[in-house]
């Protein structure tokens, strides 16, 4: 009976751990998908923050709106972004004084961000990513980006070359409505450098 009770408690413990780990789990997604799936995507400088009732509230100065829905426009008038505080797995940790590209959703008329959206320092983005934010990502929202299958409606994001496609890749529909990675010198150069490093490592190994 004692061992049965321990087994039950252990099973409950494992279930709790799994629930906690999946509380804010989200699959690794391309910046374009984060853009397309968000209510708002903005460039903002973090001014300050406070913690209230388990929520971290960032006060921001919005410098540019890359994408904004009607409800997001209303929610962002306060200049506030909400995220779970440090005790949560979902928290987005932002540094006051720094400029970020931020994406999120509007929940109960509040603009919210978490680890599933964009929270990237502007100066660390590639030129191609900035171009995507300004004009190109929105044209690819009819496409999906997948790590395991390629189809007319999606672009394959190969795991061994994820970094190149993340920083330089933009998935767009062709005139025949087939989704493809847009050609660019930046993407080609990145893929070439990746293949070169792989060849060198194989020879040295």
Q: Give the separation between CA 37 and CA 126, rounded to whole angstroms.
A: 21
Q: Is 90 annotated as a binding residue?
A: no
Q: Which two tokens stand for residue 177?
A: 């409505």
Q: Give the separation between CA 37 and CA 1, rounded to whole angstroms.
A: 51
Q: In the chain, what are the domains?
A: 40-124 (2.40.50.120), 127-199 (3.90.370.10)
Residue 35 pLDDT exceeds 80 = yes
Q: Which two tokens stand for residue 204?
A: 């040295």
Q: List, in sequence order, every residue forming a beta bridge with 181; answer none if it has no partner.
A: 171
**Residue 54, pLDDT score:** 87
Q: What is the DSSP string of 9-34?
A: HHHHHHHHHHHHHTTT------HHHH
- How big, in percent rounded to 5, are the helix, strand and coil portions of the chain? 40, 30, 30
Q: Give the separation between CA 115 and CA 134, rounded to whole angstroms.
A: 22
Q: Give the separation between CA 32 and CA 29, rounded to whole angstroms.
A: 8
Q: Is 23 exposed, middle or buried (0-12, 13-18, 19+ CB in 10 A)?
A: exposed
Question: Strand 99-107 and strand 40-52: pairing?
Answer: antiparallel
* pTM for the full predicted model: 0.83
Contact criterion met (CB below 8 Å) for 110 and 77: no
Q: Which helix (H) or strand (E) holds 45?
A: strand 40-52
The string of pLDDT tens digits covering residues 155-194 is: 999 999 999 999 999 999 999 999 999 999 999 999 999 9
Residue 23 pLDDT exceeds 70 = no
Q: Give the separation between CA 199 and CA 177, rounded to whole angstroms.
A: 35
The string of pLDDT tens digits covering residues 42-97 is: 999 999 999 999 899 999 999 999 999 999 999 999 999 999 876 555 666 899 99
Residue 9 pLDDT exceeds 50 = no
**Residue 2, pLDDT score:** 46
The string of pLDDT tens digits covering residues 85-128 is: 765 556 668 999 999 999 999 999 999 999 899 999 999 999 99
């Amino acid at each position: 009976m004692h061992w049965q009770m321990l087994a039950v408690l252990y099973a409950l413990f494992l279930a709790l751990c799994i629930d906690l780990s999946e509380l804010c789990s989200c699959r690794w997604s391309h910046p374009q998908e984060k853009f397309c799936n968000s209510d708002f995507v903005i460039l903002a400088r973090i001014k300050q923050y406070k913690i209230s009732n388990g929520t971290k509230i960032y006060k921001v100065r919005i410098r540019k709106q890359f994408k904004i829905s009607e409800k997001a426009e209303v929610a962002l008038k306060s200049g506030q972004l909400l995220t779970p505080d440090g005790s949560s797995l979902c928290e987005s940790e932002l540094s006051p004084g720094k400029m970020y590209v931020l994406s999120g959703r509007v929940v109960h008329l509040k603009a919210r961000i978490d680890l599933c959206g964009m929270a990237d320092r502007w100066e660390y983005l590639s030129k191609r990513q900035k171009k995507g934010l300004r004009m190109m990502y929105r044209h690819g929202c009819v496409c999906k980006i997948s790590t395991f299958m390629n189809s007319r409606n999606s672009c394959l994001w190969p795991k061994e070359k994820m970094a190149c496609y993340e920083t330089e890749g933009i998935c767009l529909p062709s005139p025949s409505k087939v989704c493809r990675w847009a050609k660019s010198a930046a993407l080609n150069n990145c893929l070439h450098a990746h293949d070169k490093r792989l060849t060198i490592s194989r020879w040295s190994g």
